[in-house]
Amino acid sequence: MTPFFQLHSGLMREGPGTPDDVRWALDVAKTPLRARICDAACGPGADAVTLAASRPAGSVHAIDKMRHFVVAARSRLSQFPARVTVEQGDMTEISGPYDLIWCAGALYFVGVTEGLNAWTRALAPGGRVAFSEPCLLGKPSGAVAEFWAEYPEITDYDGIVVRVRKAGYRVLHHRMIVGAGWEAYYRPMQARIDLLRPTASPDLIEVLDEGQREIDLWRSAPDEIAYALLVVEPA
């Protein structure tokens, strides 16, 4: 197993968010009871569990490009054998039709405008997309700006709306993921770092240090960065 997956093995989620964020999106998107839902870039599958549990008459297709996460998600979702499928693949190639495409903390891999463009054809009539995206809450301090320099497209909330509109979508609702959603991601990761460090190889130490830097950065400036959760639809 690679050092990255040694650290991430067993983690419930791979980005900030809570089950309440998923239920909020289903609610404001008015996702039907028998909805066909895609969890695009499902990671280890925590949100797909909430999606499936919240729409017991619906179906969930979870997709991720990394085999390790697909295996973890399959195991986590085996409690819904008849209604949930987990596939290894590219989220931009889904064909649907879906009433809701849920995408937590992953649209930035392909770009907000590009990803939404690709999903227009995968939405059922009246279908909606809910996605979370890194969002600056003001002018970032040096350390935060340096960390996010690897994602130069990052903007504040208004900038995200511009990218949504460029894809021919409109925003129906949004809210910010702060505090609890980040703790839900970082607390288990911190526990994993503390567990692995005493016996870690040099390669693994490098990955643990990187994870620790990320956690420390957020803890030092929680008011500077959020994930914006948006519910959007083709305009």
55, 92, 131, 184: which one contacts ligand SAM (CB under 6 A)?
A: 92
177 binds ligand SAM (CB under 6 A): no
Q: Which is nearer to ligand SAM, 65 or 173 (CB)?
A: 65
CB atoms within 10 A of CB 49: 23
CA neighbor of 155 nearest in space, from 62, 90, 206, 225: 225
Segment near ligand SAM (CB under 6 A); pick from 60-68, 119-127, 167-175, 191-199: 60-68
- 175: CB partners within 8 A, 6+ apart: 21, 24, 228, 229
31, 51, 54, 64: which one contacts ligand SAM (CB under 6 A)?
A: 64
Q: Which is nearer to ligand SAM, 65 or 74 (CB)?
A: 65
Using DSSP bridges, classify how beta strands 36-40 and 98-103 pair: parallel, antiparallel or unpaired.
Answer: parallel
3, 43, 140, 181: which one contacts ligand SAM (CB under 6 A)?
A: 43
3, 105, 140, 181: which one contacts ligand SAM (CB under 6 A)?
A: 105
Q: Which is nearer to ligand SAM, 35 or 42 (CB)?
A: 42
134 binds ligand SAM (CB under 6 A): no
Helix (H) or strand (E) holding 11, with range, is none
Segment near ligand SAM (CB under 6 A); pick from 40-48, 76-84, 176-184, 192-200: 40-48
42 binds ligand SAM (CB under 6 A): yes
Minimal distance, residue 65 CB to ligand SAM, in Å = 4
181 binds ligand SAM (CB under 6 A): no
Chain centroid, CA 121 distance in Å = 21
15 binds ligand SAM (CB under 6 A): yes
Please provide the DSSP assignment of 58-79 as one string.
SEEEEEES-HHHHHHHHHHHTT
218 binds ligand SAM (CB under 6 A): no
Determine contact, residues 132/157, Cβ cutoff 8 Å. no
Residue closest to ligand SAM, measured at CB: 43
User: What is the DSSP-derived secondary structure letter of residue 222?
Assistant: T
In three-state secondary structure terms, 235 is coil
Segment near ligand SAM (CB under 6 A); pick from 20-28, 103-111, 172-180, 224-232: 103-111
d(CA 42, CA 61): 9
Determine contact, residues 171/161, Cβ cutoff 8 Å. yes
CA 155, 160, 164 angle in degrees (round to 5)? Answer: 150
> What are the residues binding ligand SAM (CB under 6 A)?
13-15, 17, 41-43, 46-47, 63-66, 69, 90-92, 104-106, 109-110
